[in-house]
Structure 1
């Protein structure tokens, strides 16, 4: 049995208990070989669930089910260890917060954000449903959805998922969470199928957008506008259709539901009324158009002028503010005035970095302003540069998971990937930062994926391109005399860590000894030359210098004949 400080299979050191259920315990563990955190799920072999079935078989089935899946919104399983009394399942440790905790703390979530989440969940459910054989998740609820630091969702806990069998008339047991579960999940009411997950997703959206828990009184799903009249009638109709008692009356697939979510405004009563009004008033509008054209143009011009003036004045107030909090408040106000302009976002990011920390709370502020407009922002010419700057803020300053004992560099690097991917995907022609964005992205992907490649023995060939990216990023930073001390030192730290950890792998992938020693000496000299001005950069510099000896020894050992 695991306990704090114990080591599983000689590799996974148990750090703390992070979850407990009727069927298992979940621990946070550190892989001593790879210096990477994993979640370790411990299941007792003699444990029995309330249906008196031996649960170890379902736990192994769950692990094997996930192991063959490959989707960014699903956790990865990398190891299954059969001990004498327990089974250990080693899987991704997912950093973030479950959506039920977010609702408890912040209440109902903004409609636009919930719709974006719904689309992500539709996509992962569609992936499960179209797998061969089809997988029915059956336990969609906010507690089983993790919001990661990068804003994406992960679906967790496959404890009651099942493979769909066409010949089955009904499920053998009743499984699910009351309040969220579809009627057919209660024994004898038919077999669960993809429409079961659509019901559960509809109830989950109801909870997220209203803040009212369906597992608590009044135990009834009212139209969402009864709780908040400002919500969309189109979204209300979608949720009502998802949660019909008869599966035949629901959306028949997640693809169909996703289409409805993409066009939810068109199902809105107000939208339809506007369309009818346009047809009724067409003749009148045509006749009056000439008369009011000049007045309309004048009014629009004045409104735009006022809007521009307010925006520019607020930006100026932010720039002149002497306190970081004052700057942040002004930039947030400016974003409300013109949410598709990049200047206020860029100023906000710079304000966040003033204390050399990009906090989780600041991340929430940024995403609350940005997410509702993200699709439109991506259509602007300036978005790529904005995504690039946000990516760098995550890479160098993000403080999620940082403690006195734990440096969160890998967390920062992997959290930045999506932003550098956007910077590359939406870049206009000829932008000078394109190559740098690709390097940041690829280094992030390497650090995200290399552990799994090692476990699967598929890492050969991954190290040479990673090494070239490290060298190229070092060269770019060293060529910029105005680069900040924290950027230089964080990069030197990454280079030292990589040489120390992967010297043997670099050699096996063809990196010459002279090449790695040249980089080592250059980084060593550059580190010593950095003039530090803050306590944090002084700590980083001392940490890098403290690694000189172990890094050189790792190189010596790797290239010893």
Structure 2
């Protein structure tokens, strides 16, 4: 078993355990040469069940060799395989994000439009696998094997039971797959698995995502999706039903064919078709009534504006007086629906999301569903920069995506906020109070977004001094603003300690003086010790920072001892 802090093959430093299976563990590791994080999959060769262990080992080696031949943005890369006497280490891309099964467990059924976009991405990567020579059949599509990255894109993981298609085979030699998701032909004696097998598994995965009902649990049956939610699309229902036909001949015959159907799912929706017919019937009536409505509309528009303003203000007041978070959110959303290009309701909604110190994925979906359709119009407002600044800050400090017991998501939060601070700089003047802070947030976020690429390309020299100056500038701005809450201070102190731990040598090579880095270290250390905390979350954050102090100080000593 790898030990935290140990170095594998002279270059991969084990940082922490991030996952485990029956005979394998996955660690987060740092490549000390490239300063890049990798995932290290450890498979032990010793086991009480020797025959079972041999299968796992051979499967792991086959999986690694299979992935090494592939090149697709939705697939992980294998960069190294280290075979030792008692263990195998497979070095692969570290994928930051959450598996879709955890998202379903936490938030339930996902929005239909989002599931369709995910389905298209999965169709594309499966079609890539199927069009290799020979074809590769994935055979284990399910939410647990799909990672959602912070940028919204998906990664397909775990190729343990993938196989190359052999035309001469009449049937698979081994029955493999996850019960509930696997196609009938995966269970032996029912034919060889082929691309249509993955179509079936993907159909079941879409069923789970859009309904929230796990096919591996009771009632163990795939009902039409509108049985669970009548508001879902009839077109999507027909697509999923076709994907999950027991006979492969009755399914879509390729993922390319399925992708086309997904691109046109509304056209096979029975409601959609009825609407098209209804439009033709109504056209004549509408034309005849248009003249009458024109006069009424001019008068009515003035009255509507007056009514809208009254209703908007009423919902804002109701939201401010509401005692429950759900009530506040509902009132602010109603206000936004009335005036979608006014700032006030958005600001109230953001404050509500921030009050519990966690901006969840579900809350993000609520906010973005309201903002995105009107973003172009919002950007034309004089006060749009105020809104963009608050959105950037809620991502920077409170975004919950990717955070768990084993992994902090600070870098994810910074990356997610960059676009909003970009907007602040583009839509405000340098005279605004927050302009300087937004510029620093944007610069720090961009550094963390790009640094790994520059390290790999050996073009990172010169990037660390500006980053250090940004950190000092942000510390100065936050320390002089008495209105900033404790979590803002603590997140900044944590980022500073992390940066010293990680980049002390780089800071030195870029010209940061030892006296300078030690002065900032002492300031952050003392400020953390003296900062009063009022919640369990901030107390935990404070303890985490205090636990980093010795490591950060040792990093300074090691960097400047020569």
Deviation at 1:246, TM superposition (A): 5.4
Equivalent residue, structure 1, for 2:366? 369
Distance in 2 (alpha carbons) for counterparts of 1:477 and 1:297: 56
Per-residue Cα deviation, 1:70-100 (whole angstroms, up to 9, x for no partner): 6665455565332323323355666766444
How far is the alpha carbon of 1:290 from its aligned partner? 0.9
Aligned to 1:226: 227
CA deviations 1:150-184 (Å, max 9, x no partner) are 76644332111234567767654443234322345
Structure 1: segments with no counterpart, 5+ residues: none
Q: Is the 8 A contact 1:48 1:55 kept in 2?
A: no
Matches of 2:334 and 2:208, distance apart in 1: 27
Structure-2 change in CA distance of 1:526 and 1:144 (3 Å): closer
1:366 Cα offset (Å): 0.5
TM-score, normalization: structure 2?
0.75
**CA–CA distance in 2 between the matches of 1:81 and 1:332?**
54
Corresponding residue for residue 484 of structure 2: 484
> Take 2:550 and 2:403, find their aligned partners in 1: how far apart are those partners?
27
Which residue in the other structure is 2:142 paired with?
141
Q: 1:412 aligns with which of 406, 410, 413?
A: 410
How far 1:232 sits from its partner (Å)? 1.1
CA apart distance, 1:285: 1.4
Distance 1:206 1:553 in 2: 52
Which residue in 2 is equivalent to 1:444? Answer: 448
More displaced, 9-18 or 232-241? 9-18
Aligned counterparts of 1:271 and 1:251: Cα–Cα separation in 2: 22
CA distance in 2, matches of 1:286, 1:402: 58
**Whole-angstrom distance in 2 between the partners of 1:98 and 1:29:** 16
Residues 242 and 250 in structure 1, CA contact (< 8 A), matched pair in contact too: yes
| 3-state DSSP of counterpart to 1:87 | strand
1:26, distance to aligned residue in structure 2 (A): 3.0
Asked if the contact 2:329/2:349 (under 8 Å) is kept, the reply is yes
Q: Deviation at 1:420?
A: 2.5
**Cα distance change on mapping 1:396 and 1:210 into 2, 3 Å:** closer
Say if 2:411 and 2:448, in contact at 8 Å, map to a contact too. Answer: yes
Deviation at 1:286, TM superposition (A): 0.8
Q: Would the aligned equivalents of 1:532 and 1:538 in 2 still touch at CA under 8 Å?
A: no
For 2:303 and 2:244, the matched residues in 1 are separated by: 47
Deviation at 1:330, TM superposition (A): 0.9
Count of residues paired in the alignment? 536
Cα offset for 1:59? 0.9
Q: 1:58 matched to which residue of 2?
A: 59
| 1:462 matched residue in structure 2 | 460
Q: CA deviation at 1:138?
A: 1.7
In 1, the alpha carbon distance for the partners of 2:550 and 2:220 equals 64
CA distance in 2, matches of 1:429, 1:17: 39
CA distance in 2, matches of 1:198, 1:335: 38
Q: In 2 relative to 1, CA 547–118 (structure 1 residues): closer, same or farther, beyond 3 Å?
A: closer
Supply the distance in 2 between the matched residues of 1:558 and 1:505 (Cα, whole angstroms). Answer: 8
State the superposition RMSD in angstroms.
Answer: 4.7
CA positional deviation for 1:279: 1.8
Helix, strand or coil: the match of 2:178?
coil
Show the counterpart of 2:295: 294
Matched residues in 2 for 1:478 and 1:18: separation?
39
Partners of 2:392 and 2:420 within 8 A in 1: no
Alpha carbons of structure 1 residues 137 and 294: separation in structure 2 relative to 1, 3 Å: farther
1:25 alignment counterpart? 24
**What corresponds to 2:45 in structure 1?**
44
Q: Which moved more, 1:459-468 or 1:89-98?
A: 89-98
How far the C-alpha of 1:104 sits from its partner, in A, is 5.3
Task: Give the whole-Å Cα distance in 1 for the aligned partners of 2:274 and 2:522.
Answer: 69
Greater CA drift, 536-545 or 373-382: 536-545
Deviation digits for residues 442-477 of structure 1 (CA, Å, limit 9, x no counterpart): 233257x47xx87xxx36333532442342354366
Aligned: 1:331 with 2:339: no
Q: How does 1:90-489 map to 2 (within 5 A)?
A: 90-91=91-92, 98-100=99-101, 103=104, 107-126=108-127, 128-129=129-130, 135-147=136-148, 153-164=154-165, 171-187=172-188, 192-215=193-216, 219-245=220-246, 247=248, 250-251=251-252, 253-254=254-255, 256-296=257-297, 306-319=307-320, 326=324, 329-338=327-336, 340=340, 343-354=344-355, 357-358=357-358, 362-370=359-367, 372=369, 376=373, 379-382=376-379, 389-398=390-399, 401=403, 411-421=409-419, 424=422, 429-431=426-428, 435-436=439-440, 438-446=442-450, 449=452, 458=456, 460-462=458-460, 464-472=462-470, 474-475=472-473, 478=476, 481-482=480-481, 484=484, 486-487=487-488
What TM-score do you get using the length of structure 1 for normalisation?
Answer: 0.75
- The alignment partner of 2:88 has SS state of strand
Deviation for aligned residue 1:493: 4.1
| Pairwise CA distance, 1:556 | 5.7
Residues 406-448 of structure 1, C-alpha deviation per residue, up to 9 Å, x if partnerless?
8x6x522224424424765x7895456685564243233257x
CA contact (8 A) 1:394 1:412 kept: no
Match of 2:511 in 1: 512
Native 8 Å contact 2:328 2:352 kept in 1: no
Q: Is the alpha carbon distance of 1:534 and 1:186 closer, same or farther for their aligned partners in structure 2, counting shifts above 3 Å?
A: closer
